[in-house]
Amino acid sequence: MVNLPKKENHDSHHTLPPENVESSVIVEDLIATTNGASKSFKIIAIGLGIMSVLGIIALVLKWINYSDDSTRWGYVAALVSFLLSITGGAPMVAMGPVMAKANWVRPLTRLAAIFSFAGVSTIIVLIPLLFLLPPLVVDGTRRRSIWFEAPNYSPHIWGIIGMVLLLITGIALFYSAALPDFAVMRENSTGWRQKLGKKLARGWVGTDSQWRTLRMRIGMFGTFYFFVMVMVNFLYTTDFAQGVVPGYRDAIYTLYHTVSSWQGGVAALVIALWIVRRNMKLEKYIHLDAFWSLGRLLFALTLLWIYLFYSSFIVFWYGRSENDKATLDLLVRGPMIWAFLAGATFIWLVPWWILIWNRVRKSINGMAIGSCVIIIGLLLDRIRLFVSAWSVPQEFIHQKWLKQIPGTIYPDIFDVIIALGSISLSILMIMLMTKIIPVLSIWQIQEFNLLSKPIKFIKGHATLIAKPD
């Protein structure tokens, strides 16, 4: 071997820790992002608005044409699940690490909390499904459900209450953490934003007791949000998927749905962070560290997907009872095999091989690509689960197990427009929110600057991070 002369490039081995930014500069920079809107922002917003209106029209038209045939509504059910996953999952991601006192999460708490607002579109698309869901007593006999003795209207009423509660809790979580920033807006913004800040800051001046209350509220709403989110996932997956298929009984389904919704939420958050960082010029505040840590989380969640899927699959596959066989025939091997194969590829196989490399996790663009793949995979996975479940005619509901596997259902034009419209509406909500409040939490970034100090450590560089109680 020839010894090539080594380049003296000591500094490249040690990326310097990001410098602390002055507190006043943070305020100035972040308040500036809310002011005004560029031309392209306006054009995109108007385009998304038009798409949203079209989507709602398509939903109404579909209801007029097919309200008597529940088998045609699978794609709408899958869409609700998809939207629920992302808009419900993303805030969860910001809340969990906050409670574990992780610092990398600070730049993204606000953005994650804003995702809650997009939950509005989930509720809109859910409405027709509520009317299509069969009652608990069909032809005088009670069908299988988790509502053993409950009144007849239970699944419908609790389904919608859960979704609305999730939206409200999400907004409460957002608001409880936004008080100090509204106060900053009160002091530093102009025009209607200042008035809004004044109104919403509710006399925040940052006394000790106010900070204590703030932290308590975040902890409380965060914990509550977690429970509501798991409960909504539980209700939606049992009532709107397992409940409509005779004999389908999968105890892990809630867990599977919740975990893959975090996966989708993290992925959506990475993409949002990527866009915000580029388009709002926030490179100074959104560091590689955030992407890198999200990458590790996303990789862990991707592995969890296959674990939870396989845990359920092996039990059905090995069990081989009539019920087990019918479940697999419906969800995996049968009419939806294309969605299963494509979904598994995009939600697990490809991201696995992308995210396993530290180099990818440490690159901002690589993370964005991996996240896009996961989002596509999530959509396909939801299609597999919900379209197949809803394709079972409601006459079968009293069978002990599914004796006849229905054929493949393909989306019609309404489904496509509804999907595009509702996703547009979600994006639009998030975009508009970024103009109302700074997309990065000012106080979180200021606090981190206070708690961390770049130091020289032995031979390299390090950060000293305070861990207050």
Partner 1 sequence: MTTDVEKFGTRNWGMIADLDKCTGCQACVLACQAENNIPINTQDRVERARSISWIRVERYWEGDFPDTKARFIPIMCQHCENAPCEPVCPVYASYHNSEGLNVQVYNRCVGTRYCANACPYIVRFFNYWDPVWPESLRNHLNPDVTIRSRGIMEKCSFCIQRINRTSRKAKSEGRELEDGEIQTACSAACGTHGIVFGDLNDPESRVSKLKNHKRAFTLLEQFGTDPNVIYLAKIDPNKKGSEEGHH
Partner 2 sequence: MQQKRNLTQEYTNKVLLNGTLETPKWWAPTVAGLGFVVLIGVIIIATMVNRGLGLTGLSRPVYWGLFITTFVFWVGISHAGIMISAILRLTQAEWRRPVTRAAELLTVCSLFTALVFPLIHAGRPWRIAYWILPYDISRGIYPNIRSPLIMDPVAISTYLTGSTLFLYIALLPDLGVLRDRTTGWKNAFYTLLALGWKGNPRQWQMQTIGGILLSALMLPIFVSVHSIVSWDFAVASAVEGWHSTIFAPYFVIGAVHSGVSAVVTMMALMRWMWKWDDFIRPEHFDALARLLIVVATGWLACTFLELTFALYGQDAPEIALREMQIFQWPWNLLFIIFFVTGYLIPVPIWCVKKYRNNIAIMFWTSILVNVGMWLERFLIIVPGLARRTPFVFTWEAYRPSPVEWAIMIWSFAWVSLLMLLFSRFFPLVPLFEQKESQVFTDDIQIGRAKVPAIVREVE
Instruction: Give residue 293's Cα distance to chain centre.
Output: 17
Is position 206 an interface residue for partner 2 (rule: CB under 8 A)?
no
Q: Which lies closer to partner 2 via its Cβ, residue 41 or residue 317? A: 317
The contacts found for 453-461 with CB under 8 angstroms, 24 or more apart, are 453/20, 454/16, 454/17, 454/19, 454/20, 460/14, 461/14, 461/16, 461/17
Binding partner selected for residue 401 from partner 1, partner 2, none, CB under the kind-specific 5 to 8 Å limit: partner 1
Is position 435 an interface residue for partner 2 (rule: CB under 8 A)?
no
Is position 461 an interface residue for partner 2 (rule: CB under 8 A)?
yes
β-pair type (141-142, 137-138): antiparallel
Q: Which lies closer to partner 2 via its Cβ, residue 253 or residue 346? A: 253
Q: Residues 227 to 256: which contact partner 2 by CB under 8 A?
A: 230, 234, 238, 242, 247, 249-255
SS3 342: helix
Binding segment (CB under 8 A) for partner 1, from list 103-111, 140-148, 194-202, 321-329: 321-329
Q: Cα torsion at 436, 438, 441, 445 (round to 10°)?
A: -160
The answer to whether the CB of 193 falls within 8 A of the CB of 129 is no
In the complex, what is the shortest distance from the CB of residue 272 to partner 2, in angstroms, rounded to a whole number?
A: 24
The answer to whether the CB of 125 falls within 8 A of the CB of 418 is yes
Binding segment (CB under 8 A) for partner 2, from list 58-66, 127-135, 145-153, 424-432: 145-153
Binding segment (CB under 8 A) for partner 1, from list 209-217, 317-325, 333-341, 367-375: 317-325
Binding string, residues 439-458; x marks residues near partner 2 by CB under 8 A: -----------xx-x-x-x-
Binding partner selected for residue 250 from partner 1, partner 2, none, CB under the kind-specific 5 to 8 Å limit: partner 2
Residue 215's identity, in one-letter code, is R
Q: Which lies closer to partner 2 via its Cβ, residue 242 or residue 260? A: 242
Binding segment (CB under 8 A) for partner 2, from list 133-141, 278-286, 311-319, 402-410: 311-319
Q: How far apart are CA 182 and CA 21, in angstroms?
A: 21
Nearest to 312 by CA among 227, 242, 228: 242
**For the chain, first and last CA: distance in Å?**
55
Binding segment (CB under 8 A) for partner 1, from list 68-76, 315-323, 443-451, 458-466: 315-323
Q: Residues 323 to 382: which contact partner 1 by CB under 8 A?
A: 323-325
Is position 399 an interface residue for partner 1 (rule: CB under 8 A)?
no
In the complex, what is the shortest distance from the CB of residue 99 to partner 2, in angstroms, rounded to a whole number?
A: 9
In the complex, what is the shortest distance from the CB of residue 308 to partner 1, in angstroms, rounded to a whole number?
A: 23
Could you give the angle at which helices 154-188 and 119-132 cross, rounded to 10 degrees?
A: 170
DSSP 365-411: HHHHHHHHHHHHHHHHHHHHHHHHHHTS-GGGGG-SS--S-------
The answer to whether the CB of 185 falls within 8 A of the CB of 30 is no
Among 2, 16, 64, 205, binds partner 2 (CB under 8 A): 16
In the complex, what is the shortest distance from the CB of residue 327 to partner 1, in angstroms, rounded to a whole number?
A: 12
Is position 467 an interface residue for partner 2 (rule: CB under 8 A)?
yes
SS3 155: helix
Binding partner selected for residue 460 from partner 2, partner 1, none, CB under the kind-specific 5 to 8 Å limit: partner 2
SS3 320: coil
Among 211, 357, 396, 401, binds partner 1 (CB under 8 A): 401
Element (H, E) at 318: helix 288-319
DSSP 97-152: HHHTT-STTGGGHHHHHHGGGGHHHHHHHHHHHHHHSPPSEETTEEPS-S-SSS-T
Residue 67's identity, in one-letter code, is S
Task: State both tokens at 145.
Answer: 């459900």
SS3 20: coil
Q: How far apart are CA 191 and CA 180, in angstroms?
A: 19
In the complex, what is the shortest distance from the CB of residue 398 to partner 1, in angstroms, rounded to a whole number?
A: 15
Is position 145 an interface residue for partner 2 (rule: CB under 8 A)?
yes
In the complex, what is the shortest distance from the CB of residue 409 to partner 2, in angstroms, rounded to a whole number?
A: 25
Binding segment (CB under 8 A) for partner 1, from list 248-256, 264-272, 285-293, 320-328: 320-328
Q: Which lies closer to partner 2 via its Cβ, residue 153 or residue 310? A: 310
Among 191, 318, 359, 410, binds partner 2 (CB under 8 A): 318
Among 42, 202, 281, 320, binds partner 2 (CB under 8 A): 320
Is position 353 an interface residue for partner 2 (rule: CB under 8 A)?
no
Binding segment (CB under 8 A) for partner 1, from list 158-166, 314-322, 341-349, 447-455: 314-322
Is position 321 an interface residue for partner 1 (rule: CB under 8 A)?
yes
The residue assigned the tokens 């902890």 is 219
Element (H, E) at 455: strand 452-457
Binding partner selected for residue 204 from partner 1, partner 2, none, CB under the kind-specific 5 to 8 Å limit: none
Q: How far apart are CA 187 and CA 193, in angstroms?
A: 10
Task: State both tokens at 372.
Answer: 């896009």
**Interface residue list for partner 2 (CB under 8 A):** 14-17, 144-146, 148, 230, 234, 238, 242, 247, 249-255, 303, 307-308, 311-312, 314-316, 318-321, 324, 450-451, 453, 455, 457, 460-469
